[in-house]
Amino acid sequence: MQPHELITALASRRLVAIVRGSDPQAALDTVLALVRNGIDLVEVSLSGAHALDVIAKARAALGPEALLGAGTVLTADDARNAAEAGATYAVTPAVTEAVSASRSLGLPVLAGALTPTEVVGALREGATAVKLFPAGPGGAALLRALRAPFPLVPFVPVGGIDAAAAREYLAAGALAVGVGGPLVGRAADGDPTGLADRATAFRALAEEAS
């Protein structure tokens, strides 16, 4: 995936689903269920159990064109392992060596940043977009404040984002939002109750913002 392709995907979907679970089979089933329910831009966090296996199996099931990324990429080894497993983009929680390592492997990067200094650092390291993280404490006001000096930076808020917050961030100029628990629930831990309904609701929310 080229950087412009990730930007295009973020701009059209407006939503990244974040899957992190303790049950690898349930996490895989969750990824596949999300895609079946129309949420096809998915990040599998490396902090989940056997996440690399989940990515590899999801890639095999979904094919080469699937918009499947690896999250919580912290090191150069993480980046390399994610690429080998089949991730086509990387997501980091901070500006670490993983940003430049991912870019050297051909993976576009959503690099985590919270302050103006960190935003500049993420861009300097080659980030395709900035993952505003943790977005929850600052709310949409933080995004608006950062967009004033960085009007051309594509921001993707992540962290503590429910449906109401997602609407606020998208209205405040976020390119997309990353949503974990409020969308996925406990599906990646083995309890998929309500996943399809939540996916439908979040997909509708994202479509409204497009």
Catalytically annotated residue among 97, 118, 125, 131:
131
131 is catalytic: yes
Which phi and psi (to 5°) does residue 42 adopt? -125, 140
- For residue 153, the 8-state DSSP code is S
Burial class from Cβ neighbours inside 10 Å (0-12, 13-18, 19+) for residue 7 reads: middle
Burial class from Cβ neighbours inside 10 Å (0-12, 13-18, 19+) for residue 5 reads: middle
**Dihedral angle, C-alpha 60, 64, 70, 75, nearest 10 °:** 100
Sequence-separated (6 or more) residues with CB below 8 Å from residue 199 = 17, 33, 34, 37, 38, 39, 183
* Separation of alpha carbons 52 and 34, rounded Å: 18
Catalytically annotated residue among 5, 43, 125, 207:
43
57 is catalytic: no
Contact yes or no for 73/91 (Cβ under 8 A): yes
Catalytic residue annotation: 43, 131
